[in-house]
Amino acid sequence: MNAARLLEYFDRIAEAPDAVSRLRKFVLDLAVRGKLVEQDSNDEPASALLNKISRYINRCCEWDIKADGSVPFNVPAGWGWSRVGLITTKTGSGSTPRGGQSVYAKQGIPFLRSQNVYNDGLRLDDVAFIDVATHQKMNGTSVKSGDLLLNITGGSIGRCCKVVDEIIKANISQHVAIIRLAIPEMSDFTHLVVLSPFFQAYVVDEQTGAGRGGLPKNRMDQIPVPVPPLAEQHRIVAKVDELMALCDRLESSQAKRESRRDRLASASLKRIGQPEDVGSGEEFRENVRFHLHHLPRLATRPEHVKELRQTILNLAVRGKLVQQDPNNEPASELLKSIGRLKIERPKFVDDYDDGTLPGAVNFSLPQGWIWSKVQELLENDREISYGIIKLGQEPKEFGIPVLRCSDVKPRHIDLSNVRKVSGEIEQEYARTRLVGGEIVINIRGTLGGVALVPVDIAGYNVAREVAVIPVSHALCGEYLVDAMASPFFWETILSNLRGIAYKGINLGALRLFRIPVPPLAEQHRIVAKVGELMNLCDQLEVHLAANQTNQSRLLEATLCDALGVKCLPVSRSSRPAPSLKQVAATHIEQPPRPIAPHPAPVQAPTAAVQGSLIEQASQVEKPRAANGDIPGAILAQMQPGQEYSRAQLAEALGLSVYEWNMAIRELKESGRVVQTGERRGARYHIN
């Protein structure tokens, strides 16, 4: 491996999704394909090793290729193919002692469970113990030095470690399987085979059962295993150890670099949003210039863009986003015209001293602004209310659409999955029937959602976990939504949550939450500026996705070049890896190639500062950029309520068996997709 070349480019490929993790998998895949070390014609061939195993266990150990018809991939001369069950003297899972956890002892014989098995070894911090008598009853589940332990159920399925000499006696649970090699010297290389993407894809594909699922012994025994000469196995293990140590150093370096960048980005945004007594004037403008100048390096992940969005909203509610105009009518006059500035609190408002809520955030406001309670911003004939308590069974036809907390997102409403209630139920909640212009905010369940109701969904209603705030039409509803989506308002919400298991906001507290209100003309200017800057954030996210695509391609080419192979072994044969020069040039000089038929160039968004204003300096078109997200591509092919076969999804996207197995495993483990049936009868649907 050309480690120097890899290190030369690592700073540029480290931002690729899971760069070091992909490097580890790539090394393992090369190892089991005979592409990591040179072959030596003087080595005793694998056929002799397999014949030795055959004589030892008294059965044929070499896979009959002619009878089977094919092999997973070609291996070098001197290698052979076998199966797990043909090169082992013992395979199979353990068992749970009679009585379960009640027979666990404070000390004694270690009882190894799936939470103790990791790829880098056994972790015994929380190991259970059984007494000697129980150990003797479970003699068939005893482990020996050199055994491989493989997790065969649950979310940790596929994790595997080798039992070291220090473990003298131990037993395993039914969630762990023993793989005991007939030739103990083969255990280190076989461990690498089990950890490789090639073997892990089989583990995922061979699972049976619903819920937790599992890998049965008969299917595990049939998984094919490439077998190199024993001397080459030792050379491969040594090379993998060397490369994994390099990965450890790269991972450590990457973690330190990302930590420094995260601290710098957070500190920069904090300086921009700091109180006006230390963040005004030229110092504030310089802080903004610094952040925008270094934006491409500070914002490299989606969470960085999310922080930037929060900073924009924070500046908006503090009067730092646009310049004030002394000719604007003060906000106090605006609220007087609404007629609720000095209104008495309704009887259902809880008594919070004089209206000051615990945890409320206070800061000085610009000239012409005023602090107001949410209650003082409402229409005169309407009050804040929550919606339908029990939605009942959804009607098969007709019905009234109802917004739930899953539909109300930060600053927008998602209508893609709205359910309905019967007209009879909805009639009892006319108070929360929407007419357009109200603000809906989540008060239970998924908190953080707040949005302005558009007039085109007039007639909708809301569920119990959503509150309707009928703000006065004399105010700018978009500004109030931005204020309620800001960190300032969110801190107030967090400080006033009530409940134990199911926390929420009391309506009495919500009515007294304070909001900074600027003059009406400035409200509209703030909304326009927030819209511009949020568009800038959208463009930045597109740029990041496109940049990740380039980094992934550069990573692929760099790995091929550094490891001296022509293409990635896990790639489809129809897509050879590009040359390093081609990808490096593309990474520097050209934008990524979007999927759209008429692609537009992707440019890094920039911005400039004028006075205390943040101005967008360039207009960037939004191309559709592919980001190599195979699980996302699979989800995009699926519709709620529909079931799909593997052929329907994998063939439609042109996925290889490896790509499909790894992607569907991720989707199932994350709970986004559920599998029913097994093997060829397996069907998949969105959870």
Choose between 62 and 627: higher pLDDT.
62
Return the CATH number of 44-228, one of 3.90.220.20, 3.80.30.20, 2.60.120.10, 3.30.1240.10.
3.90.220.20
From the list 546, 554, 548, 544, the residue with the least C-alpha distance to 10 is 554
Topology of domain 331-518, CATH: Adenine-n6-DNA-methyltransferase TaqI; Chain A, domain 2 (3.90.220)
Whether the Cβ atoms of residue 506 and residue 499 lie closer than 8 Å to each other? no
Radius of gyration of the chain from its Cα atoms, rounded to whole angstroms: 31
pLDDT band at residue 544 under the 50/70/90 scheme: confident
Q: Is the dihedral of CA 297, 298, 304, 310 positive or negative?
A: negative
- According to the model, what pLDDT value does residue 588 have? 37
Topology of domain 630-686, CATH: Arc Repressor Mutant, subunit A (1.10.10)
Phi, psi of 347 (to 5 degrees): -65, -20
Distance from C-alpha of 108 to C-alpha of 137, rounded to nearest angstrom: 14
List, edge to edge, every strand of the sheet that includes 439-442: 385-386, 466-469, 439-442, 450-452
User: Which residues, at least 6 apart from 382, have a Cβ–Cβ distance to it below 8 Å?
Assistant: 431, 470
Percent over 90 (pLDDT), the chain: 41
Domains 44-228 and 331-518 share a fold: yes
Query: Hey, how many other C-beta atoms are within 10 angstroms of the C-beta on 345?
Result: 16
Distance from C-alpha of 467 to C-alpha of 524, rounded to nearest angstrom: 25
From the list 450, 443, 457, 345, the residue with the least C-alpha distance to 385 is 443
- Segment (H or E) for 649: helix 646-653
Length of the chain: 687
Token pair, residue 642, equals 């529909």
Which of 15-24, 214-223, 579-588 shows the lowest per-residue confidence on average (mean pLDDT)? 579-588
pLDDT band at residue 567 under the 50/70/90 scheme: low
- According to the model, what pLDDT value does residue 328 have? 94
From the list 684, 654, 662, the residue with the least C-alpha distance to 201 is 662
pLDDT tens string 617-636: 333 333 222 345 788 788 87
Question: For the residues 67-75, what does the mean pLDDT come to?
Answer: 75
Which of 216-230, 240-254, 580-594, 663-677 shows the lowest per-residue confidence on average (mean pLDDT)? 580-594
Query: Hey, how many other C-beta atoms are within 10 angstroms of the C-beta on 169?
Result: 12
Distance from C-alpha of 426 to C-alpha of 545, rounded to nearest angstrom: 43
Choose between 179 and 336: higher pLDDT.
179
- According to the model, what pLDDT value does residue 296 have? 62
- According to the model, what pLDDT value does residue 98 have? 83
Whether the Cβ atoms of residue 451 and residue 412 lie closer than 8 Å to each other? yes
Choose between 503 and 45: higher pLDDT.
45
Which of 108-117, 220-229, 329-338, 358-367 shows the lowest per-residue confidence on average (mean pLDDT)? 358-367
Percent over 70 (pLDDT), the chain: 75
Per domain, the residue ranges of the chain are: 44-228, 331-518, 630-686
Query: Hey, how many other C-beta atoms are within 10 angstroms of the C-beta on 214?
Result: 21
Which of 272-281, 401-410, 428-437 shows the lowest per-residue confidence on average (mean pLDDT)? 272-281
The DSSP secondary-structure symbol of 112 reads: E
Highest mean pLDDT among 126-135, 199-208, 553-562 belongs to 126-135
Q: Are β-strands 109-112 and 171-172 bridged in parallel, bridged antiparallel, or unpaired?
A: parallel
DSSP secondary structure letters along 439-497: EEEE-BSSTT-EEEPPGGGTT-EEBTTEEEE-B-TTS-HHHHHHHHTSHHHHHHHHHTE
pLDDT tens string 306-338: 888 888 898 899 898 889 999 999 999 998 888
Coil vs helix vs strand at 403: strand
Choose between 276 and 458: higher pLDDT.
458
What are the CA-CA distances from residue 78 to residues 43, 236, 641 (Å)?
8, 15, 51
Classify burial at 233, counting beta carbons within 10 Å of its beta carbon; exposed 0-12, middle 13-18, buried 19 or more. Answer: buried
Question: For the residues 542-570, what does the mean pLDDT come to?
Answer: 67
Distance from C-alpha of 205 to C-alpha of 195, rounded to nearest angstrom: 15
- According to the model, what pLDDT value does residue 6 have? 59
pLDDT tens string 597-620: 333 333 444 433 333 334 333 333
Distance from C-alpha of 162 to C-alpha of 496, rounded to nearest angstrom: 51
Classify burial at 590, counting beta carbons within 10 Å of its beta carbon; exposed 0-12, middle 13-18, buried 19 or more. Answer: exposed
